[in-house]
């Protein structure tokens, strides 16, 4: 196994819809999270981009094939990101889209060149894939210059959680790794892997978007306790 240097885990709070967005008013965001994910696919097209706030934004434009909430051509998703983008923003694109879409790869490389950290994501809503599958998409992330390769996979039994954790433990952190289980072992597994160095760890503000998510503020407090 590789000897990984310590990693300070960051907590990402997801804004999935207009009600989440409205709930931000008066919220002490720096106490809740380190990054605020804006799920652009969950917002109406006429929602105005947020003004500069106390923490960086992470812009995520998913289509339905990626687990998002709308059928959304890649050109429109790129345009939505560019509309919301400001200095310091992070951007998330799905690994399979980056692999198959030249337009997505070009946009990603442009954003990286402009200084925006890129998250290359992989999701499996039915189980934990073979290591070779995850290794393949990690190479996709490396090839586009991603800062983070994010894996969210469904662990409904202990063996699945162990396989996901073992892949995380043996894999080099170039790019950084964000690995999160969903499903039955989501809550316990996310806390375990975050403590072990998973870089970005996603939670919710009002309602979980997938089974096994923590409330962002609770996860942040637990991780701070683990470092004390």
Per residue of the chain (228 residues), give pLDDT as tens: 455 555 679 999 999 999 999 888 888 888 889 999 999 999 998 899 988 788 999 999 999 999 889 999 999 999 999 999 999 999 999 999 999 999 999 999 999 999 999 999 999 999 999 999 999 999 999 999 999 999 999 999 999 999 999 999 999 999 999 999 999 999 999 999 999 999 999 998 888 777 788 989 899 989 887 664
The CA distance from 171 to 4, in Å, is 9
C-alpha distance from residue 64 to each of 38, 80, 96 (Å): 16, 16, 13
pTM of the model: 0.93
Residue 74 located in a structural domain: yes
Residue 123 located in a structural domain: yes
CATH code of 133's domain: 3.20.20.70
**Which range of residues forms the domain containing residue 26?**
10-227
Residue 2 located in a structural domain: no
Domain count, the chain: 1
Residue 4 located in a structural domain: no
Residue 52 located in a structural domain: yes
Q: For residues 205 and 221, is the Cβ–Cβ distance under 8 A?
A: no
Alpha-helical runs (H) found in the chain: 18-22, 29-32, 74-84, 95-100, 102-113, 131-143, 158-170, 186-195, 216-227
């Amino acid at each position: 196994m590789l000897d990984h240097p310590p990693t300070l885990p960051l907590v990402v709070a997801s804004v999935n819809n207009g009600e989440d967005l409205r709930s931000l008013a008066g919220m002490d965001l720096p106490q809740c999270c380190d990054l605020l994910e804006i799920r652009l696919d969950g917002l109406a097209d006429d929602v105005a981009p947020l003004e500069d706030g106390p923490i960086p934004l992470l812009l995520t434009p998913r289509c339905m094939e990626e687990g998002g909430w709308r059928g959304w051509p890649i050109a429109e998703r790129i345009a939505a990101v560019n509309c919301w983008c400001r200095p310091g923003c992070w951007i998330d694109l799905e690994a399979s889209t980056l692999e198959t879409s030249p337009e997505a790869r070009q946009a990603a490389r442009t954003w990286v060149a402009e200084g925006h950290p890129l998250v290359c994501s992989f999701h499996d809503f039915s189980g934990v894939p073979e290591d070779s599958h995850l290794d393949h998409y990690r190479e996709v992330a490396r090839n586009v210059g991603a800062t983070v390769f994010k894996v969210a996979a469904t662990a409904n039994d202990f063996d699945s959680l162990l396989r996901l954790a073992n892949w995380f433990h043996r894999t080099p952190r170039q790019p950084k790794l964000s690995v999160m289980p969903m499903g039955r072992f989501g809550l316990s597994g996310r806390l375990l892997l975050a403590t072990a160095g998973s870089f970005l760890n996603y939670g919710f503000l009002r309602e979980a978007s997938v089974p096994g998510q923590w409330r962002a503020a609770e996860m942040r407090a637990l991780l701070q306790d683990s470092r004390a």
